[in-house]
Amino acid sequence: MKTIARPAFAETEEKKSRFLAELVFHDDLAKRIDELRTLHPKANHHVNAYRYLNDEGQLIEHGKDDGEPSGTSGIPCLKVLQGRDLINVAVIVTRYFGGTKLGTGGLVRAYSGAANAVCDVAEIVEYIPQGEAELFAGFSDAGTLEQACAEDGITILDRQFDTDGTRIKIAGPREAISELAKRFPIAPQKDISRGK
């Protein structure tokens, strides 16, 4: 599976209709559609399609025609994302009508063409599942843990110190976090209500 390094943009034209295509992270889809409706109030449609993995690791995907004839725009855009094995992304295609009707076949070609155009210019990267964890290290091992995090591309979100060592909350590649968790497991929480 693949995803994008950053959002991308491409513009295509079909019989004087303009198609402005954006490839964005799925988490930004709703906000970006709202922004596009404000930026392009005279645009006729903001077609979109998305694919993402939910918290249970299930693939969720959908295409929305946004007023175009059913099946002529959202699904063709979704098929482009499927064909390129992209996840955790969304494509949004904003259309300005050029005065000539494209027909159903023309719409399918135009929308899939716009989605392909933006995928062609996007920086596509391998998808690496991300996660978070809280790990513990005694004071003598704290530096080793932080160095291991830096080497594995893991971000330290929070540090807490107590009398036994340091607890750090981390985020990064799930596989690297899993390996670190084998070396630095989370210590059980102390029950301070009983003085232990």
Is the whole-model pTM more than 0.95? no
**Whether the predicted pLDDT of 82 surpasses 80:** yes
Mean pLDDT of the chain: 90
Query: Which of 19-28, 73-82, 136-145 has the weakest average pLDDT?
Result: 136-145
d(CA 46, CA 43): 8
- H, E, C per residue of the chain: CEEECCCEEEEEEECCEEEEEEEEEHHHHHHHHHHHHHHCCCCCEEEEEEEEECCCCCEEEEEECCCCCCCCCHHHHHHHHHHCCECCEEEEEEEECCCCCCHHHHHHHHHHHHHHHHHHHCCEEECCCEEEEEEEEECCCHHHHHHHHHHCCCEEEEEEECCCEEEEEEEEEHHHHHHHHHHCCCCCCCCHHHCC
User: 23 and 8 in contact (C-beta within 8 Å)?
Assistant: yes
Half-sphere exposure of 7 (CA within 13 A, CB side): 13
Q: What is the pLDDT of residue 187?
A: 53
Calpha distance 150→135 (Å, rounded): 14
pLDDT digit string, tens, across residues 129-176: 888 888 988 888 888 888 888 888 899 999 888 888 888 999 988 888
CA–CA dist 26, 88 (Å, integer): 5
Residue where the block lists tokens 């830096």: 150
Tokens at 141, concatenated: 């091992």
